[in-house]
């Protein structure tokens, strides 16, 4: 079959740096995208015409996709673009055949909202993310998305955003902007661009429901944490809320307390009632009164997103890692560092190596400090964490120390680069004075 598209395969190998096997595979798929099902020509002739059509249209699409800069300064590879176009074509071939007027236009519409978010928040966004990270174990995210291409890279779900016709995307954005600013809409789309595939009327109804039933005032902030709610019908949202209320009230919490938890973590509306009930029952072993359970959940609603089995496993890991008894391994992190206990999977391969790196190389006092105060870094790969540590150590070593002089982990790629720029500027000024 590869022989039926030799020119396209050669172009993918030569211009897009695909291997021979990759080029053959994607040439076959892309030719099929450009095949005209209504054409009454022989298959071989039809394939040749389709290949020529692909060669006429694809170079511009590849060039444009590869010109979009990722937040780390890199660009998509030819293989990644071929995979992206294949995902789009699998649902809507016209979005690839007529890329310029369909997928590209939808991409630009979404990116304009995301750009507004990035421009408006800038450094403030970074600081807020770092503060959120501190609650869950210190430090901000090691990498932040800044454009649609970041979300599209290797994400088959996000690619659905480019399947939608530009007219639909425009209608959805217009509906969202009735209740949110362009920057807030961009924040919603940044991690879940595929949400533009939902109906605009459904999104407006979901916003109205959240305002009426939950008292949501900061619409953008609420739906940024659970964008999929914008694609959920109003009656389904009410069913989810009623189910959650029933499970929490069975544990002794009030309807108002449940509402406050949903406002903090809208994702709770997606949780199954049976799972929430089993989780609260397990937590009640350690928080024996509704008041104590409420205090724990106030600090970390994420506890309700984990199953009882997952929490038990976390407790067991802490016993093995730190030698804590069963009560302390649950009670202490749940109260003092609840997000760490709820969100960091200590059983993942490589966790022990990361802990050794943080204590032996970075200089943190103990594994307990790593797991509790700096657990956000345990979510990153060891390679990323070590590379960033070396960068900051070279360019902005002050970020590796707290105000008291102890080891810290304020690792931030952007801050390190800014400090390096300031240092270079000062050095240039000193030389000019001399």
Judged by DSSP in three states, 7 sits in: helix
Which residues are CB-contacts of 239 (< 8 A; sequence separation ≥ 6)? none
What the block records as the tokens of 313 is 């496993």
* CB 4, CB 31: distance < 8 Å: yes
* CB 191, CB 151: distance < 8 Å: yes
- For residue 302, how many C-alpha atoms fall within 13 Å in the half-sphere facing its CB? 18
Separation of alpha carbons 238 and 247, rounded Å: 14
Q: What is the dihedral of CA 47, 49, 53, 54, to 10 degrees?
A: 20
* CB 261, CB 294: distance < 8 Å: no
pLDDT at 172: 97
Q: Which of 334, 340, 347 is nearest to 372 (CA)?
A: 340
User: Please, is 110 exposed, middle or buried when counting C-beta atoms within 10 Å of its C-beta (0-12, 13-18, 19+)?
Assistant: buried
pLDDT at 58: 87
Judged by DSSP in three states, 75 sits in: strand
Separation of alpha carbons 93 and 257, rounded Å: 48
Judged by DSSP in three states, 176 sits in: helix
Separation of alpha carbons 169 and 154, rounded Å: 22
Separation of alpha carbons 328 and 338, rounded Å: 13
Which residues of the chain register pLDDT less than 70?
Answer: 1-4, 36-48, 50-51, 121-145, 321-341, 399, 401-434
Position of tokens 């039933």? 213
Cα 375 to chain center, whole Å? 18
The DSSP annotation for 113-165 comes to HHHHHHHHHHHHHHHHHHHHHHHTTSS--S----SHHHHHTT-TTGGGGGGS-
pLDDT at 136: 37
pLDDT at 143: 44
pLDDT at 338: 61
* CB 108, CB 48: distance < 8 Å: no
Rg of the chain (C-alpha set):
26
Separation of alpha carbons 129 and 411, rounded Å: 13
pLDDT at 384: 81
Separation of alpha carbons 60 and 82, rounded Å: 13
To the question of pTM greater than 0.85 for the whole model, the response is no
Helix/strand/coil percent split, the chain, to 5:
75, 0, 25
Beta bridge partners of 401: 407
Q: Which of 28, 33, 18 is nearest to 90 (CA)?
A: 33
């Amino acid at each position: 079959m590869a022989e039926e598209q030799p020119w396209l395969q050669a172009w993918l190998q030569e211009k897009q740096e695909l291997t021979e096997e990759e080029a053959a595979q994607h040439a076959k798929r892309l030719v099929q995208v450009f095949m005209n099902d209504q054409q009454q020509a022989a298959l071989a002739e039809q394939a040749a015409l389709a290949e020529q059509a692909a060669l006429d249209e694809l170079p511009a699409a590849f060039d444009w996709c590869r010109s979009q800069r990722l937040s780390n300064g890199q660009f998509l590879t030819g293989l990644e673009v071929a995979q992206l176009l294949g995902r789009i074509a699998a649902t809507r071939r016209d979005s690839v055949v007529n890329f310029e007027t369909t997928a590209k236009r939808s991409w630009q519409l979404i990116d304009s909202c995301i750009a507004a978010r990035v421009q408006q928040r800038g450094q403030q966004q970074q600081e807020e993310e770092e503060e959120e990270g501190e609650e869950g174990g210190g430090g901000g995210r090691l990498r932040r998305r800044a454009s649609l291409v970041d979300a599209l890279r290797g994400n088959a779900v996000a690619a659905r955003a480019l399947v939608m016709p530009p007219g639909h995307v425009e209608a959805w954005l217009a509906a969202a902007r009735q209740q949110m600013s362009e920057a807030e809409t961009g924040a919603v789309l940044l991690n879940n661009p595929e949400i533009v595939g939902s109906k605009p009327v459904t999104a407006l109804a979901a916003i109205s429901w959240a305002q009426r039933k939950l008292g949501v005032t900061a619409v953008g902030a609420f739906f940024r944490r659970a964008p999929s709610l914008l694609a959920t019908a109003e009656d389904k949202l009410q069913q989810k809320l009623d189910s959650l209320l029933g499970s929490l009230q069975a544990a002794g919490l009030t309807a108002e307390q449940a509402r406050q938890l949903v406002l903090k973590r809208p994702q709770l509306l997606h949780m199954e009632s049976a799972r929430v009930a089993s989780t609260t029952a397990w937590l009640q072993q350690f928080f024996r009164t509704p008041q104590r359970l409420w205090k724990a959940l106030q600090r970390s609603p994420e506890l309700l997103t984990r199953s009882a089995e997952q929490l038990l496993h976390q407790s067991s890991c802490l016993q093995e890692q730190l030698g804590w008894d069963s009560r302390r391994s649950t009670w202490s992190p749940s109260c003092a560092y609840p997000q760490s206990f709820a969100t960091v999977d200590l059983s993942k391969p490589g966790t022990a190596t990361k802990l050794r790196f943080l204590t032996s190389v970075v200089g943190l006092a103990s594994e307990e400090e790593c797991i509790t105060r700096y657990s956000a870094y345990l979510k990153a790969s060891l390679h990323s964490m070590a590379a960033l540590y070396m960068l900051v150590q070279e360019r902005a070593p002050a970020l590796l120390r707290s105000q008291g002089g102890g080891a810290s982990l304020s690792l931030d790629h952007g801050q390190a680069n800014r400090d390096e720029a300031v240092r270079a500027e000062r050095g240039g000024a000193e030389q000019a004075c001399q």
